[in-house]
Homo-oligomer: A and B are copies of this chain.
Amino acid sequence: MTGIDSNTEQIIMKAARRVFTNKGFDGARMQEIADVAGINKALLHYYFRSKDKLFEAIFKEVLNTVFPKIIAVLMSPLTLFEKIEKVSFNYIEMLKQNPDLAIFVFHEISRNPERLVGNFKNVGADFKIIQTQITKEVEAGIIVPIKAEHLIANLISLCVFPFIARPVLMGMAGMDQAEYDRFLEERKQIIPHTLITAIKKQK
């Protein structure tokens, strides 16, 4: 090996990630990945034995980019309101820096959901922790009763959706890129406000 973990390998990963996230597994072509990487197609198979293997490598890399931080927040000892605020901020910020990841993950949901769920749990996601926290905060009179499933679904969907539906949103609302960026920035506040107001117990 020349450098750390071979330069070519990283170049390939970068190219593959770009092509896979844009086109999905089925739409991606090994030739295109090779072209983007500026190498021969056979070299792809030298480093990663098959298209599936290459995809899997990218997939794991993406999972490790996207989820650990968010899950860590959800599993931490913060209050529910703090978690909602932090996840909204971190998630949107991370997706702003990797706008294709949302689409990539969703492509994978419809292609191989089992593996995705498996990897999720491996990263330390445990649904019960949130469930017990909600139960406690309900009992403490802080929030109105709500199922954890709904709260988490609400939180994730509000954060992720704008990245998946970006072209439609921009097209329908007539936003340009700058306006869209501002829109995302606003959501860091609006999402927590929406969710917290809806579950906060009135005195």
Chain A positions within 8 Å of B, measured between CB atoms, are 22-24, 26-27, 103, 106-107, 109-111, 113-114, 116-117, 120-121, 125, 127, 146-150, 152-154, 156-158, 160-162, 164-165, 167-169, 171-175, 183, 186-187, 190, 193-195, 197-198
Contacts and interface: CB of A to CB of B under 8 A. Distances in A.
A106 B193 CA distance: 27
Contacts of A107: 110
A168 B24 contact: no
Contacts of A174: 127
A116 B168 contact: yes
The residue in A127, A160, A167, A168 that gathers the most chain B C-beta atoms within 10 A of its C-beta is A168
B26 A149 contact: no
Given A193-B198, A194-B194, A173 B148 contact: yes
Contacts of A171: 113-114, 116-117, 120
A172 to B, nearest CB: 5
Contact of A120 (B22, B26, B157, B168): B168
B150 A186 contact: yes
Contacts of A165: 106, 109, 153, 156-157
Given A24-B24, A161-B161, A117 B194 contact: no
B26 A117 contact: no
B127 A173 contact: yes
